[in-house]
Amino acid sequence: MIKVKTTRFGDIEIDEKDVITLPAGIIGFPELKQYVLLDHDQDSPFKWLQALEDGSIAFVLINPMLFKPDYLVEVNEAEVGDLEIEAEEDAVVSVIITMPSDPQKMTANLKAPVIFNLKNRKGRQVILNNSDYTTRHNIMEEMRKHAANAEQQSLQNVIDQAREQKVEPQVGKVEKK
């Protein structure tokens, strides 16, 4: 067991098998190479990437697919070869978020995701070439956009179904009394 004194979680004990190594560190923190992933809350989509060498450093992570389902991480073997990923399902992609006092302004760094191989407990932050991604992508705005798109798509599906059914007009009988 490894004991770490952290700013956010107090004193914690980490099983050595839970340690994740980032050989190149995180951008701005290349000297910090050992981390552990901690849950924010039981049902929360957020995780904490807690540095073990410096208990005051922790990053909030989220799965980008939760708010940007079309997010695409394209990397080459040279960028992630040291992770030794054998199967696509072994790779987990997370992005670092910045949480200001107003949660509506929460942003994600889509430009530099962190890729983990949870089989061998290695990770690497990579910088993507995709110019559509920024380091301060507004999460709430993205969620609203996808909710609106989903609502519009749902409405379009109803319209399409109605067109396909070709409902014949009903002619009623008039009865004299």
Examine residue 154 and state whether it is found in any structural domain, yes or no. yes
Residue 98 has phi, psi (to 5 degrees) of -110, 125
* CATH code of residue 33: 2.30.290.10
Examine residue 148 and state whether it is found in any structural domain, yes or no. yes
Which is more confident, 64 or 81? 64
- Predicted pLDDT of residue 61: 94
The domain total for the chain is: 1
- Predicted pLDDT of residue 170: 47
Q: Are 32 and 54 in contact (CB under 8 A)?
A: yes
The pTM score is 0.76
Domain range for 94 is 2-165
Examine residue 170 and state whether it is found in any structural domain, yes or no. no
* pLDDT tens, residue by residue, 15-38: 999 999 999 999 999 999 999 998
Examine residue 175 and state whether it is found in any structural domain, yes or no. no
Examine residue 57 and state whether it is found in any structural domain, yes or no. yes
Examine residue 160 and state whether it is found in any structural domain, yes or no. yes
